[in-house]
Amino acid sequence: MANERQPWDDVYDQINVLRHPDSIHTAPLTDADLDAVEFQLGSLLPQSYRAFLKRFGPGELECSLRVTPILHGVRRGYTLLEETAGQREFFAKHYEEQNGPWLGRVVYFGCNAGGDPYVWDPVELTSSGTGECPVYWLVRHEENQPERCANSFFEFVREELTRLQAWRAEEPPEEGIPANSFVPWHLRFKVEPQPSDVQLWLTYSNVRDLALAIRDHGRADAFPALADALQEAGCANADVLDSCRRGDPEIDGVWVLRVLLGEK
């Protein structure tokens, strides 16, 4: 059944998504996106990796694990396809090097904070039913000695969470930042309207009243009405309107209220 819990669900439930209100972040991936990557990659993606990207998208887990984007538009280096293709092209030319054939077939899906790559071997399956395969850490300049981290992608993530838990015992996270925080890669910063435009919109009493009702009385359900009122007042700022209509009230809504009413 499609809704049946999988072994990786308990692992992913421990992760807290942390988005910055002033940024447009990458969205979770779709099956169509992932199918296209599989076709171009020439191998299946592990099911737990697909589930991760469909739930969180690419991003960074507490400055520890950086999951490479698979689509263009993210302000960060190469995509998974480009990184993997580049490495395969390099090792095709240096095939005679020790471990060259293996390094030329693995998939480069992420890295640590120091930039050392994490890869999986699509040939060395540990579960043919789910396409899971072992994950390795390649220390830069020591790629010929890969270190096996886990037997699957989700077990690798679980090990990362365990390591972070031990680290937090000595270095607690900053106040207000949840443990196991995952920040999706941002596409761009939101475009803030000019203060003069905001003041003009607020002259329409409905805009001010709705914004105050949301902020002071928790009327998050009024965000769509606020978008309509703003548009009637002349607002054409797509980020403001989209944040009201399709954004998360606890994230995008916070940005809208700050833009309209300032900090409280």
- Residues 87-120 pLDDT 10s: 888 887 776 666 788 898 999 999 998 899 999 9
Per-residue pLDDT at 1 exceeds 70:
no
- Residues 212-241 pLDDT 10s: 999 999 999 999 999 999 999 999 999 999
Q: What is the pLDDT of residue 112?
A: 93
> What is each CA distance from 235 to 53, 227, 231, 250, in whole angstroms?
34, 9, 5, 22
- Residues 123-181 pLDDT 10s: 999 887 889 999 999 998 888 889 999 999 999 999 999 999 888 877 776 776 788 99
Ramachandran quadrant class, 48 (left: phi over 0; alpha: psi -120 to 50; beta: rest): alpha
What domains can you pick out in the chain, each with its CATH number? 9-187 (3.40.1580.10), 191-261 (no CATH)
Radius of gyration of the chain from Cα atoms? Answer: 22
Q: Which residues contact 22 (CB under 8 A, 6 or more apart)?
A: 189, 190, 255
